[in-house]
Amino acid sequence: MQLISHIIDRLCKVIAYLSGLLLISLVLLILCEIFLRAVFNTSTMIADEYSGYLYLASIFLGISYTFLKDGHIRINILTSKLSNKTNRYIDIYAGVVTLLVFAFIAYRTALFAYDSYSLDMLSEAVSETPLYLTQIVMPLGAIFFILAAVSFIIKRVKND
């Protein structure tokens, strides 16, 4: 079980690096757009659209690592007054609920991307990007979050 948790943690860290690279790409794209407009009075015509796609991908791919590093907001008004053992049980329960919620999110976003693929939907912008290519990161990010929740649960169970 500990090996599975370790592998998931490593995978989420790799995905977090990819998320960071996407953010850097977003910044470079915006800087390129600013430079082209200021110096050459022209535009890439895709910077606005693709910066949204890069931002979406960065968020969805980064949430699993953030979860593993306790980077999400936790409200611990009640849990701070409970014992460690009770807190572990609450964490396990919350992890299972999180797992179920993100399983639903993964399923629905996969259907969303598949519909875009099967209907050959394109963006309405100049690029006419196939939308499924930009939407596929949502179920992937949800799947990585599910793996992070599994790792979280394993760690809490192991502490019992």
- DSSP tag of 54: H
How do residues 3-52 score in pLDDT, each as one tens digit? 898 999 999 999 999 999 999 999 999 999 999 999 999 999 999 999 99
Query: What confidence category does residue 160 fall into, taking pLDDT thresholds of 50, 70 and 90?
Result: low
What is d(CA 118, CA 99) in angstroms, rounded to the nearest whole number?
28
Which pair of structure tokens corresponds to residue 87? 């807190």
Please give the residue that has the higher pLDDT: either 140 or 90.
Answer: 140
Give Cβ neighbours of residue 157 (< 8 Å, ≥ 6 apart): 1, 92
Other beta carbons within 10 Å of 115: 13
User: Which range among 21-30, 61-70, 104-113 shows the weakest confidence by mean pLDDT?
Assistant: 61-70
DSSP H stretches of helix in 41-83: 47-68
- What average pLDDT does this structure show over 71-100? 86
Strand, helix or coil at 122? strand
Look at the chain and report how many structural domains it folds into.
1
Domain membership of residue 46 as a residue range: 2-158
Query: What confidence category does residue 119 fall into, taking pLDDT thresholds of 50, 70 and 90?
Result: very high
Query: What confidence category does residue 71 fall into, taking pLDDT thresholds of 50, 70 and 90?
Result: confident
Which pair of structure tokens corresponds to residue 19? 């998320």
Query: What confidence category does residue 159 fall into, taking pLDDT thresholds of 50, 70 and 90?
Result: confident
Query: What confidence category does residue 70 fall into, taking pLDDT thresholds of 50, 70 and 90?
Result: confident
Looking at residue 66, its pLDDT comes to 94
